[in-house]
Structure 1
Amino acid sequence: MKFLRDRELHVQLLLLLPLTMAAAGVGFSRSHQAGCLALGLCALFALVLLGSAWRRYRTMEALCQDLDRILHGESGVDLDAYDEGAWSILHSQLTKLLTRLREQADRLQGDKDQMAAFLADVSHQIRTPLTALNLLGSQLADPSLSPDKRRTTSRELRQQLDRLDWLVNALLRMSRLDAGTVELCREKLSLKDLTYRAASPLAIPMELQGQTFQVVGEAQAVCDPAWTAEALGNVLKNCMEHTPASGSITVTLWENPIYSQILVEDTGPGIRQEDLLHLFERFYRGQNAAPQSAGIGLALARMIITAQNGTIQAANRREGGARFTIRFYRQSAPPAP
């Protein structure tokens, strides 16, 4: 009987022994019946003590078995049987502990599923340009390829390399933001200068398509110049890709005591209602997405902006076209959208 090894029980029995002897001595000094009664009462008390210890041990053993089942992944274990008497305090604490452990396990499983989906999306996004590079490399290896075709293939090869380089760099930026290892500078900047800086890599493609680009107004904001230019450049690139030839992209700047605002509007077809709710999700590509789109530009823009106490929202203009509203708040936290 393992419960007899309990040290607390040993102490109680050792304390009971001299008390029994003293009670028996006093009883027998008076009469034989009184001594026998004292011994009987002491024996009954010892039996009650042993029974209580045995019941406590059985409860503890059952609790240990239930906890072991929980640790091995069983979810239907009920601990309410221990919610009585002195066990109620332990039951309350164990319930809190198990609730916290289940929450952590669910969170870890969610992170694991998200990581698996992320790796699958990354593999898919990288596989596409790698496949194109493999085909283009095979074409360039053909000795009978004409000079004109070789130049065209080389240009396509360079485009795919640029796309792969941008994709890898964007993924690295997103991973750094996720890990919290990015130290964003806080500088007071002219948003007009920042807008022209973000649009400079798009100047030639816009000119080739006959698109017009203009910046209206002036405002200042406290933000990181390089990262914010990256975010705004991704928004402008999205607008450029969905604006037809001879269309226009307009950036309107404005500020008040609460926030500074960048309003980006284009004259494209706008955004489908089904895409508005998912537009800033990682690797999401809408039905009207550009063929070369990887679905991470706007997601990266959102991560950069929100990391600087800002918000970004997308909507459709009544006149047609898309509208992106970026705000950098001066307070410690922006209001809920």
Structure 2
Amino acid sequence: MRDKKRRLIHVLLTAALVIPCLFFSIPCTVMVTVTSAVFFVFYELLFAQRRSKVMKLCDNIDGILRSDDLISFDEYKEGELSVLSAEIHKMTIRLREQNAELKNEKQFAKEALEDISHQLRTPLTSVMMILGLMRSSDLTDTERVEYLRDLYELLARMKWLIETMLSISRIDADAVKFAKDAVSCRELIEKSVEMVSVMAELKGVEIRTKNNEDPEFIGDMHYTSEAVVNLLKNAIEHTPQGGTVTVTANGSNISSNITIADTGTGIPEGELPHIFERFYRSSEYTKNGFGIGLAFAKKVISAQDGSLKASNRKPHGAVFDIHFYKTTI
């Protein structure tokens, strides 16, 4: 309809110019007619080209809606459609990024649920077995108390697993807002050691602290303490009775540092690159755990612009070095 209207206007304008020319000169009439025809053909070609670009742009937008990732807007960098195509290009990039994020989140949620269900299966099976044994009327009071203690330990481990997994998931999703407080390393170590003191005493492991200095860093006391507690638990579990776990704090112009060293058997060299991976469980070093305590510690420390590294010490034992940098590197 618009094309017919546009052509009708062109014909009327041409007639308005040609008719007066008929009364003056035939050559003038011919020239006006030819000029009008050339202008009409040129305008039609230009309009057709523009319409073709608009239709192609519409097809590209339709392709985007069908999740076509190969569409490019480079051919629209010049001309009157350049501004519109540039805005559509920005929108396309953002939509692709959001689509990728949604796919990653979906895959992460799927893997997290599979990991949790896998890790809960063994303790749940043990709980069901103990509950079945407790139904027996022949149990003595001593046996019943032992079963209840086993149940409590299993349920406590399951609770810790679920809470730790939820914390890791929230950190991965950037849903955790870490505090930006001045944290004393001495206070952090004292608080963390206190939380594992009973475990160390039952295991027969001595915890020593060397806090001649009291460096500070900007971070979250609560989450960082949970991370240090996980590292201390790991050190205690792998230190034999009569051994020691030493926690040292020191600082420099670059960073505030905390070192946790034990006198255990150390970490197999081939497993050092993997011990901070979620649910990594080797045949030796991490076989008795769920494989997320060290991963949680790594997540918390890294999220606060810190670093956590593991190594072995001579003659034996493992060392965990924590660095909180005073400037972002």
Distance 1:292 1:163, change over 3 A: farther
Partner of 2:215: 220
Q: Does residue 184 of the first structure (1) align with residue 179 of the second (2)?
A: yes
Q: Give the C-alpha shift of residue 185 in structure 1.
A: 5.8
Structure 2 counterpart of 1:244, from 225, 240, 254: 240
- Written as runs of structure 1 = structure 2, the 5 A alignment for 1:63-78 is 63-77=57-71
CA distance in 1, matches of 2:8, 2:309: 75
Residue range with higher mean Cα deviation, 254-263 or 236-245: 254-263
CA distance in 1, matches of 2:223, 2:93: 40
What CA deviation, in whole Å up to 9, does each residue of 1:130-188 have, x standing for no partner?
Answer: 22211111111122234443232222111101112222332343344444344526144
CA distance in 2, matches of 1:307, 1:75: 32
Q: How many residue pairs get matched?
A: 326
Structure 1 counterpart of 2:167, from 167, 173, 181: 173
Partner of 2:55: 61
TM-score (norm. length: structure 2): 0.84
User: Unaligned 5+ residue runs, structure 2?
Assistant: none
Q: Does residue 5 of the first structure (1) align with residue 2 of the second (2)?
A: yes
RMSD: 3.0
CA distance in 2, matches of 1:17, 1:104: 52
Q: Give the C-alpha shift of residue 71 in structure 1.
A: 1.7
Q: In structure 2, give the amino acid aligned to 1:199.
A: V
CA distance in 1, matches of 2:190, 2:223: 14
Contact kept? 1:24, 1:35, Cα under 8 Å? yes
Distance 1:225 1:34, change over 3 A: closer
Residue range with higher mean Cα deviation, 274-283 or 176-185: 176-185
Contact kept? 2:203, 2:236, Cα under 8 Å? no
Distance 1:267 1:72, change over 3 A: same
Distance 1:185 1:77, change over 3 A: closer
Partner of 1:328: 324
Distance 1:31 1:187, change over 3 A: closer
TM-score (norm. length: structure 1): 0.83
CA distance in 2, matches of 1:93, 1:126: 49
Contact kept? 2:308, 2:322, Cα under 8 Å? yes
Q: Does residue 273 of the first structure (1) align with residue 233 of the second (2)?
A: no
CA distance in 2, matches of 1:250, 1:12: 91
Contact kept? 2:245, 2:262, Cα under 8 Å? yes
User: Unaligned 5+ residue runs, structure 1?
Assistant: none
Q: Give the C-alpha shift of residue 80 in structure 1.
A: 5.8
Contact kept? 2:209, 2:247, Cα under 8 Å? yes
Structure 2 counterpart of 1:159, from 150, 153, 157: 153
Distance 1:67 1:253, change over 3 A: same
What CA deviation, in whole Å up to 9, does each residue of 1:182-235 have, x standing for no partner?
Answer: 45261442x334323212233333233332221123323244433322211110
CA distance in 2, matches of 1:243, 1:33: 110
Structure 2 counterpart of 1:234, from 207, 230, 233: 230
Distance 1:282 1:5, change over 3 A: farther
Contact kept? 1:239, 1:249, Cα under 8 Å? yes
